[in-house]
């Protein structure tokens, strides 16, 4: 019997590559072909040259570092508060009844509308930007964590309690391992939202960062710099997403085995 070739290309990866190539081809056709003016749609060559220029003068690394640090700090604040609160909501009906209406109300408030208040209360410093990212991710993350933990099979919890496990042991040995893959997905999704709110935070009262770079370029119709900033944010997001997927395999390897049916 012939052995299965492990180097065979995954069809889903091939489709992703085809989609990416089609988007780049359409961009090249519209920009190099003159269908769209370069003022509105720069060529890939111009965008690559702009990224290379910013890398040489150091502004690329400085802006990327400022944005990454703001995202991570604001998002970590959100995780530290939201994860235990969401788990407590899932395990306590009284606590959930007390805080859920407030969270449900607050999560519908547009974060952009809160920018003037954060500027009034916190000024134009870094804490204001961290707070915008916190507000943009916290309320959604709390409810996502609550739903994930609530979805743990009750039979597993009841079995642990029947065997004499305490509440702490039930959390440590049953609830946390069962909900960990879902929690990692929740974190992966919300850090993507954090990048969205970072751009909002940096477009107001900032003098560095990728969001500030995009806004500044808009004033001078420097669309090559705008596209460069957007591409950089997208690439950082893809790397972050890949790292979270890899981390999920490390901290919860049993989930992948269950998904594969092994």
Number of domain units in the chain? 1
Q: What's the mean pLDDT when you consider all of the chain?
A: 85
Does the structure show a pLDDT above 80 at 10? no
- Tell whether 5 is covered by a domain: no
Look at residue 117 and tell me if it is in a domain.
Answer: yes
- Within-domain flag for 7: no
75 within domain boundaries: yes
Residue 39 in domain:
no
CATH code for the domain in which residue 254 is found: 1.10.3720.10
Whether 19 maps to a domain, the answer reads: no
Residue 105 included in any domain:
yes
In a domain, 26, yes or no: no
* Structure confidence by residue, pLDDT tens digits, 134-174: 999 999 999 999 999 888 888 887 888 888 777 778 888 88
Domain that holds residue 115: 45-259
Instruction: Indicate the pTM of the whole model.
Output: 0.84
| 59-98 pLDDT, tens digit each | 889 999 999 999 999 999 999 999 999 988 988 888 988 9
Look at residue 258 in the predicted model and tell me its pLDDT: 46
SS (H, E, C) the chain: CCCCCCCCCCHHHHHHHHHHHHHHHHHHHHHHCCCCCCCCCCCHHHHHHHHHHHHHHCHHHHHHHHHHHHHHHHHHHHHHHHHHHHHHHHHCHHHHHHHHHHHHHHCCCCHHHHHHHHHHHHCCCHHHHHHHHHHHHHHHHHHHHHHHHHCCCHHHHHHHHHCCCCHHHHHHHHHHHHHHHHHHHHHHHHHHHHHHHHHHHHCCCCCCCHHHHHHHHHHCCCHHHHHHHHHHHHHHHHHHHHHHHHHHHHHCHHHHHHHCCC
């Amino acid at each position: 019997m012939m052995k299965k070739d492990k180097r065979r290309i995954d069809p889903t990866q091939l489709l992703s590559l085809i989609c990416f190539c089609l988007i780049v081809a359409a961009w090249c056709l519209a920009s190099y072909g003159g269908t769209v003016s370069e003022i509105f749609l720069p060529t890939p060559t111009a965008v690559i040259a702009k990224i290379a220029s910013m890398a040489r003068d150091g502004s690329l690394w400085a802006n990327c570092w400022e944005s990454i640090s703001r995202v991570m700090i604001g998002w970590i604040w959100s995780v530290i508060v939201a994860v235990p609160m969401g788990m407590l909501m899932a395990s306590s009906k009284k606590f959930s009844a007390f805080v859920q209406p407030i969270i449900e109300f607050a999560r519908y408030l547009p974060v952009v509308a809160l920018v003037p208040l954060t500027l009034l209360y916190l000024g134009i410093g870094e804490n204001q930007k961290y707070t915008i990212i916190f507000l943009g991710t916290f309320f959604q993350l709390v409810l996502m964590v609550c739903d994930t933990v609530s979805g743990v099979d009750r039979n597993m919890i009841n079995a642990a309690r029947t065997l004499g496990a305490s509440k702490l042991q039930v959390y440590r040995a049953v609830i946390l391992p069962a909900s960990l893959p879902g929690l990692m997905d929740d974190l992966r999704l919300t850090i993507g939202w954090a990048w969205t709110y970072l751009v909002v935070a940096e477009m107001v009262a900032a003098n560095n960062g990728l969001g500030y770079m995009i806004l500044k370029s808009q004033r001078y119709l420097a669309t090559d710099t705008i596209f460069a900033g957007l591409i950089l944010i997208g690439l950082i997001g893809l790397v972050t997403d890949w790292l979270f997927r890899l981390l999920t395999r490390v901290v919860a390897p049993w989930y992948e085995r269950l998904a594969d049916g092994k």
